[in-house]
Structure 1
Amino acid sequence: MAKTISKYFLALVPEGPLQEQATALKLQLKEKFNIKYALKSPAHVTIKMPFHWNEAKEGELAQRLETFFEAFGPIDLEFSGFDRFGKRVLFIAPKANPALSTLQSALSGFCRTTLKLEEELSDKAFHPHMTIAFKDTKPQRFDDYWSYVKAQPFQAHYQFKDVALLKKMENKWEVMRRMGLGG
């Protein structure tokens, strides 16, 4: 049987009102500016960028990650307003959180040593964010997007009690499994 390599990533994926609020914003951007790429995944804060993994060993990957995440407690994040990366990405901005930084740093080491994944620049230069527009944004229209988004009020608090393992399926990212923080 041929080995099937799939793409995965790890993120904090909120449920309920915060997910609904972020999705509503993505839909407004689609309606107003025809920006829709961010709708290919649920709203999330990435803690490990996409990586390739043998699909047949997905269960083993999830078990190893579940064991790893047991050592960390829930993470409270405050989201306040928006920010951007140049003229490419718009995002909901979480406030700095030492527990999140500690989790991401430890996860980066775990992925490198235990899962044998390559360390990427994003692993070393972690900048938490919840993307609402990227990839199909146009630099010449970016100031319009930015003016529209930053005029929206956005305040939210969410306690993340798990980390999601997402998998790319039919060109969309789906939550495959949620792994509890703190067992």
Structure 2
Amino acid sequence: MAKIISKYFIAWVPSEKLCDQVHQLKLNLKDTFGLKYALKSPPHITLKMPFNWNEAKEDILLEKLKGYAKNLKAFSIQFDGFGRFGKRVIFVKVNENKDLIALQSNLTTFCKKELKLVSELSDRNYHPHMTIAFKDIKENEFDLYWKVISTSPIQAKEDFGSISLLKRKEGKWGVINRIDFMF
């Protein structure tokens, strides 16, 4: 049997209410400007960027992640307004949160040691956010996108009590397992 390598990433996925709100922002950008690339994944905060993994060992990956998450403690995070990375990414801002930074740093170490994943630049220069537009942004139209999106206020407070494993299937990302923290 041939080895099937798939793409996965680890993220936090918000409540249904916030997911719907952020998804609506993505849809508005699609309907107004044709920006649709961000619709290929559910709203999320990336904790570990996409990596390749043998599909036949997906259960091992899940068990290791469950082992990692079993002693984690939930905390709150807040979202307030929008941010951007130059003229290439628009996102919902996550307020500064030491617990989130520590969790991501510990997860990076876990992924390197236990999953044998390479530590990437994005692991070391972590800036938590929830992307609403990227890749198909036209730089010369960015100011117009920004003007439209920044008039849509967004504020939320959420419990961060789980991590999710997402998998790429047929060009789209979907949650295959949500792992709740024990505390």
TM-score by length of 2: 0.98
- 1:33 corresponds to which letter in structure 2? F
- 1:16 deviates by 1.6
Confirm or deny that 1:62 pairs with 2:62.
yes
Alpha-carbon distance in structure 2 between the residues aligned to 1:151 and 1:180: 34
Q: Deviations over 1:115-165 (max 9, x none)?
A: 100000010000000000000010010011111111111111111221000
Q: How many residues align?
A: 183
Aligned twin of 1:178: 178
Whether the 8 Å CA contact 2:13–2:45 is kept in 1: the answer is yes
Aligned twin of 1:13: 13
How much identity, in percent, do the aligned residues show?
50
- 1:70 deviates by 1.4
Aligned twin of 1:89: 89
Q: Deviations over 1:75-132 (max 9, x none)?
A: 3110000000000000000101111111100000011111100000010000000000
- 1:180 deviates by 1.2
TM-score by length of 1: 0.98
Aligned twin of 1:101: 101
RMSD between superposed Cα atoms in Å: 0.8
Alpha-carbon distance in structure 2 between the residues aligned to 1:182 and 1:146: 39
Aligned twin of 1:52: 52
Whether the 8 Å CA contact 2:35–2:136 is kept in 1: the answer is yes
- 1:113 corresponds to which letter in structure 2? K
Equivalences for residues 21-32 of structure 1 within 5 A: 21-32=21-32
- 1:21 deviates by 0.3
Q: Which runs of 5+ in 2 are unaligned?
A: none
Aligned twin of 2:150: 150
Alpha-carbon distance in structure 1 between the residues aligned to 2:113 and 2:53: 15
Secondary structure of the residue that 1:73 maps to in structure 2? coil
Aligned twin of 1:43: 43
Alpha-carbon distance in structure 1 between the residues aligned to 2:35 and 2:74: 33
Aligned twin of 2:119: 119
Runs of 4+ more than 3 Å apart: none
Q: Which runs of 5+ in 1 are unaligned?
A: none
- 1:73 corresponds to which letter in structure 2? K
Aligned twin of 1:131: 131
- 1:18 deviates by 0.3
Whether the 8 Å CA contact 2:12–2:46 is kept in 1: the answer is yes
Q: Deviations over 1:1-47 (max 9, x none)?
A: 01000000000001221000000000000010000010010000000
- 2:58 corresponds to which letter in structure 1? E
Whether the 8 Å CA contact 2:15–2:158 is kept in 1: the answer is no
- 1:11 corresponds to which letter in structure 2? A
